[in-house]
Amino acid sequence: MSLRPTPPPADLVASDAARALAEDVGSGDVTAALLPDAADIAYLLCKEDAVVAGRPWFDACHRALDPEVRIDWRVQDGDRVPAGTVLATLSGRTRALVTAERTALNFLQTLSGTATTTAAYVDAVCGTGCTILDTRKTLPGLRLAQKYAVRCGGGQNHRIGLYDAVMLKENHVRAAGSLTAAIRAARTAQPALPLIVEVETLAQLEEALAEGCERILIDDFDAASRREAVRRAKSPPFDGRIPLEVSGGVDMTSLRDIAADGVDFVSIGGLTKHVRAIDLSMKLGPAP
C-alpha cells in the first residue's frame, strides 16, 4: 500500500489497552509473579499468511506495563506477510513481557484478522473500479480499531457511527410519506452531513437520483435490476454523479459478479462481524 492508514488518536488506543489489561490482569498477574523480574528478550511470530494490523495497540499494552520496553518492528501495518514471518522483537522486563502478552496478541490477531479478510475482498474486485466498505457491525468498544484494520486491508470506511452521516431507510420513508419527502426533510435537518439513501425499487432509485444525495444503496436488487440501476444512474442526465452501493447478502461467490455490473461500492458486515483471528505467538528468547 502506498499510503499508510492513520490510526486512531494515541489516547484512544491507550484507553483501549488499559481497559483490556484491567480485564485480564485484575488485582495482579499471580503467574508472572513466579518469574524473575529480569531483563529479557522475546519475538513475535506470525504463523499464517496475513495482513498486519494493530501495532499501536500491541505497543500500548506493553508500554503500559513497562514504559522502557523496546519493540523493534520488522513490518508495518498494512503489510502482507507469509507464514513464519517474525513481525517484531522485544526487549524488556520478563514479568511485564509475559503479563502483556495475551492482551497485546488479542488486539493484534483480531485486527490482523479484519485486515486479512478485507484484503481478500479487495483482491476479489480488483480491476472493476469497485470499492469495498465496512459497516457498523463491529465488536463493541472496538469500532475505531476495526475500522482502522479495514483501511489496513485496503478497504474504506462507511460512516463511523450514527452521527457523521444521514442514512435513510424504509422506516424514514414510511414516516415521511415518500422517499422524496424523506430526502427533503433530511436535507433541511442536517444540510452539512452526507446523505445516503437506501432504495428498494427502480422507481425509488429515480426519485433519489432526481432529488440528489451523496450515495444510493440499492438493497436486495436481483442481478437484472441491479444492472438496470447502474445503467440509469450512469446515463444522462445523471451521468454517474451519484455512486451506487450494494449491501446485504454479499459473499465471495457473488462479489465479483456484483462488482462487474458497475456498482461503485459494496459494503460487507462480515469484515468486522465475522472475525477469525490470525494465528500469532510471542515467545521469550532470541528470534530464530
Task: Find the CATH number of the domain harbouring 34.
Answer: 3.90.1170.20
Do 157 and 216 lie in one domain? The reply is yes
From the candidates 74, 80, 136, 169, which is the catalytic residue?
169
pLDDT the model gives residue 2: 53
Into how many domains does the chain fold? 2
Do 151 and 246 lie in one domain? The reply is yes
User: pLDDT digit string (tens) for 270-282?
Assistant: 999 999 999 999 9
Q: Identify the residue whose cell numbers are 442481478.
A: 223
For residue 215, give its domain range. Answer: 127-273
Reply yes or no on whether 220 is catalytic: no
The mean pLDDT of 201-217, rounded to a whole number, is 97
Whole-angstrom CA distances from 247 to 16, 42, 281, 286 are: 30, 43, 35, 47
From the candidates 29, 79, 198, 264, which is the catalytic residue?
198
**Is 194 among the domain residues?**
yes
User: pLDDT digit string (tens) for 135-162?
Assistant: 999 999 999 999 999 999 999 999 999 9
User: pLDDT digit string (tens) for 64-100?
Assistant: 999 999 999 999 999 999 999 999 999 999 999 999 9
N- to C-terminal Cα distance for the chain?
28
**Is 59 among the domain residues?**
yes
Which pTM value belongs to this model?
Answer: 0.94
Cell of 139: 465488536
pLDDT the model gives residue 38: 94
Give the whole-angstrom CA distance, residue 242 versus residue 233. Answer: 7
Do 151 and 232 lie in one domain? The reply is yes
- Find the helix or strand (DSSP H, E) in which 70 lies: strand 70-73
**Is 230 among the domain residues?**
yes
Reply yes or no on whether 102 is catalytic: yes
From the candidates 219, 227, 234, 279, which is the catalytic residue?
219
Q: Which amino acid is at 47?
A: K
**Is 4 among the domain residues?**
no
Do 160 and 198 lie in one domain? The reply is yes
pLDDT the model gives residue 220: 86
**Is 3 among the domain residues?**
no
User: pLDDT digit string (tens) for 244-264?
Assistant: 999 888 889 999 999 999 999
pLDDT the model gives residue 219: 83
Output the average pLDDT for the chain.
96
From the candidates 74, 80, 102, 232, which is the catalytic residue?
102
Do 110 and 132 lie in one domain? The reply is no
Do 222 and 99 lie in one domain? The reply is no
Reply yes or no on whether 198 is catalytic: yes
Q: Give exposure, 130-159, as e/b (b: 16+ Cβ within 10 Å).
A: bbbbbbbebeeebbbbbbbbbbbbbbbbbb
- Phi, psi for 85 (deg, rounded to 5): -75, 130
Reply yes or no on whether 137 is catalytic: yes
pLDDT the model gives residue 1: 43
pLDDT the model gives residue 248: 81
Do 144 and 255 lie in one domain? The reply is yes
Do 149 and 40 lie in one domain? The reply is no
The mean pLDDT of 48-52, rounded to a whole number, is 98
Reply yes or no on whether 169 is catalytic: yes
pLDDT > 90: what percent of the chain? 95
From the candidates 137, 159, 232, 256, which is the catalytic residue?
137
